[in-house]
Structure 1
Amino acid sequence: LTTGQVIKCRAAVSWQANEPFSIEEVEVAPPEAHEIRIKIVAAGICGSDEHGVRGELKEVTFPTILGHEAVGIVESIGEEVKDFKPGDKVIPLFMPQCEKCFLCTDPRSNLCITSLIGGPGGLLAPKSSTFTCKGKPLNLFANTSTFSEYTVVDEKAAVKIDDQAPLDNIALIGCGFSTGYGSAINTAKVKPGSTCAVFGLGGVGLAAVMGCKAAGAAHIIGVDINTGKFDLAKELGATECINPKDFDKPISQVLLEQTGGGLEFVFECIGKTDTMVSINASNFAFGTTVIIGISAPGSTISFDPMIFLTGRTLKSSLFGGWKGKESVPKLVTDYMEQKFDLNKLITHRLPLEKINEGFELLRSGKSTVLLK
């Protein structure tokens, strides 16, 4: 029995920024009050983890165990935990939900005051008492640290899912898929018959394409300089794909001209400031642009404020606007009912030992990688 005991397991440790992951034996402390310890079954490699590797997120303190997109099984629970029991299938939440604060109870937001993202530092401060390696404490990442065979999270940072849920592809519901899909469904509120453009056809961008299709968009344009992504984008719902390198003018201008005034919905899924100003591609009277990609530290964007005067809207989307505790179980049910296919988003399945290879695939711009 491992309940109440320190567990020794393997984890991908990031000792410092811009270094390869090191597969190490780590010690995982038993859960404290209001915490649960989870056996990670599958974990996705997300672009935000790459930002963490490069030291581009203020939330990352090295040494650390990265990872935030996963699915697993509760191994044990701490005192005063009421909503989880050993054996429960769960998805960790990098955006916790206490379900009590003014943000959690307001339908306009999917943030929580305990979140480290966007708020005044968050109340779930990064701990250094959960993981140790070679006698040194390791810091948690995004409340979750899922690049480990076991992790410990606060009960606010996990949600129970259907006992019959398959524990593989649904790891993507923990971040990438939900972020892109929800940006279309919840944030933009794409309308049937509308026109959309998605900048960046990685995992999040492809999920945004799926969201636009599910919402009934009539025309969905995928935009990427990697033409190798076009076939899958079309399979998932894109009606057309274009490469900005094929034109001698800004792609936003091309789209503006092709659509006779601009698209109704534009999604920026890259995190580059030059594509964030793609708001120019939205309809001058009622277009909505949603920024999803995470930009480099210190980045700024600038544009003529007059482009807003005619009626354009600029929005952002974090985790697709979903409230984790409420929405993730429903998304899992939707997947089980085959309302969307996550299998098509995953290009590689690798063991934890090959995590560095997985990140190289991510950097090549060709893959969504699942660690199992």
Structure 2
Amino acid sequence: MRPSGAAKNRLATMSSRDVGKRLAYFMTVAALVSLAFAQAQTTAPAVPASIRPLFDRALAYYRQGDADSAIKVFDEVIRLQPTFARAYILRGSAYALRSEHEKALADFNRAIQIDSRNAAAYCDRADLEQHSLGRPQDALADYDRAIRLAPKFQRAYFNRAICFLERHDYNRAIADFTRSIQLVPNDLSAYGSRAYAYAKQGDRTRALADAKVAIKLKPSQIPLARVTDLGLRAKTYQILGQPKLALRDFREAIRIIPSRGIAYEDLAWFLATCPQEGFRNGAEAVSAATKACELSHSKRSGCYDTLAAAYAEAGDFDQAVKYEKQSLKDSSLAPKEREECEKRLALFQQRKPFRDEF
């Protein structure tokens, strides 16, 4: 399906909240699992034979999105091999999935103490600093360190690009997405993300070209990474003006891992804010957004923002105003994000719903 002329003209008005921060959170919790581990094998120490079965079992749990089971098995791995840095990195990533940020940070710090040249440890700590701890300068320093240590570490370029994207520094984001694609040419996430960055610049031609490439690439088969890819592909379908296929991917992400709050949040946002009336459903949006908040171990600003948009679509503007104000209490909101939340609050106070134009 070719996007309509109207759809093309709306590309540059996409909400940075919907794709920017939400995209970043998706990438953080999934950490591009399939690519990250493939790259880690090239430089990381071999897993000691004595713990290999345990390590593989913990890794399998993590890739499936089962953070609780992964942490339990990594605990045993670390008990048996207390100086094995990779186990701390992966356990830290599992803690991040559960939004246990201090425990995640402690594990990443311990990994760096053990192996100060471990690029993955710096990259994962940067993800945590950027998206959970509200420390963007520390995050950039850690991404830079990871890239200096491993100049071909694709995920470090990709995640640094997301950091630039949140700052609305689109030129630097595009440069890092481009390097990411050079290192891993068939990465759906990188093409979809660069499409968004081009769209924000108003470069409709390049945005559409990247979006068309992205939808031809296959999502990962690893459950945790597949959920990420589906969410990003859904956003790409929205760029191309294909909401039916976007909705399909949002629902499939929930089916694969029903415990992922961000997948419910993403579905709720789509159902509440889609410009095409036939795809909106206020009641289901409220239900999905409520589920997302229940599953979130820490109530992120985006969760409340989504719940506010859902209530607005359902016609309950008092609740919409309440939750948008709650969203604005987040001191870590970037200036542009805060500005967009304030605009939504003004709409809800006027008893008008929000439409996320693509």
TM-score with structure 1 length normalisation? Answer: 0.25
Instruction: Answer 1 or 2: which has greater helix percent.
Output: 2
